[in-house]
Amino acid sequence: MKTSAFSSNKQSVSPTDTHAIDDKTQLLSLQNVSYYIGQQRLLSDIDIDIAVNETVSLVGPNGAGKSTLVKLILGLIDPTKGGIKAHQPLQLGYVPQRFTVPPILPLRVSDLLGQANKTRLTPEQRQFIFDNLSLTHLLSRQMLHLSGGETQRVLLARALLDKPNLLVLDEPMQGLDPDTEVWLYQFIDQLPDFLRCAMLVVSHDLHWVMRGSRRVICLNKHICCEGQPSELAISTEFQKLFGHYYEQPYVHQPHACTHSAPSELEL
């Protein structure tokens, strides 16, 4: 279960196979996973099951071990204790927290997207991704010269074009302006149905995490609490970690002025 920075083709599942998969079917289990570097405990006794087509949000303070957990799931590091079991052949898609292109490396958007498998999505699905992520006019641009929002769209497209059955997004909204955030949240909310994929979303945005009915896992080197947002909101552990934020909800209103802005993100 190894992966490249964006996706793994090692154990691919064909698009037709997914039709037979029931939503309750388990996709991936972490069983009693601990991870140490020398004497330093980064994670201990982690038990997580992710079902096919399920979206799980992962929250936790800085240094809680969220990125370490992502690396374990992607197969980039191995657990010190415990095991990770894939119940279905895994096709991983990954959008990293940070992506830097060395200044001396010429890498156009079309080069990066061209690495994706061209046969896993139907032409209509590919077109849906290109249209919704407004990619066409970016294709000849250098990755190095893209803005933060453009880079996130390209990285998301790169992961989606391989039709992952588990999409891992590590703080996908970092550096985005509020309108782009709202738009991207709406886009990723529809992905599980569109692609029939499971998603693990690492996020510091409690307003998104605590909205809707996605299962939330709260991590602080171990699993402090987990459940539906309504259950978490009354959990003592969650209140201890996040109560002070959660008591002051902020609701973003998308920008709606009438002058023409150079936005490329109209759906």
Ligand X SMILES: Nc1ncnc2c1ncn2[C@@H]1O[C@H](COP(=O)(O)OP(=O)(O)OP(=O)(O)O)[C@@H](O)[C@H]1O
The smaller minimum CB distance to ligand X, of residues 33 and 157, is found at 33
| One residue of 8, 51, 52, 66 binding ligand X per CB under 6 A | 66
What angle in degrees, to the nearest 10, is found between the helix axes of 178-189 and 148-160? 10
According to the binding rule CB under 6 A, does residue 214 interact with ligand X? no
Element (H, E) at 66: helix 66-74
According to the binding rule CB under 6 A, does residue 5 interact with ligand X? no
In the complex, least distance from residue 218 CB atom to ligand X, rounded to whole angstroms: 11
| One residue of 46, 65, 180, 215 binding ligand X per CB under 6 A | 65
Give the separation between CA 69 and CA 75, rounded to whole angstroms: 10
- Residue 215 phi/psi, 5-degree rounding, is -70, 140
Q: Which of residues 67-106 bind ligand X (CB under 6 A)?
A: 67-68
In the complex, least distance from residue 149 CB atom to ligand X, rounded to whole angstroms: 20
Q: Which of residues 175-204 bind ligand X (CB under 6 A)?
A: none
Q: Strand pairing partners for 84? A: 30
23, two tokens: 């939503």
Rg of the chain on CA atoms, in Å? 19
According to the binding rule CB under 6 A, does residue 42 interact with ligand X? yes
The smaller minimum CB distance to ligand X, of residues 66 and 158, is found at 66
Q: Are strands 166-170 and 198-202 parallel, antiparallel or unpaired?
A: parallel
Report in angstroms the alpha-carbon separations of 14 from 120, 139, 259: 7, 27, 46
In the complex, least distance from residue 229 CB atom to ligand X, rounded to whole angstroms: 20
According to the binding rule CB under 6 A, does residue 64 interact with ligand X? yes
- Residue 210 phi/psi, 5-degree rounding, is -90, 5
In the complex, least distance from residue 39 CB atom to ligand X, rounded to whole angstroms: 11
Amino acid sitting at position 122: T
| One residue of 37, 45, 78, 236 binding ligand X per CB under 6 A | 37
Which residues here bind ligand X, judged by CB under 6 A? 37, 42, 60, 62-68
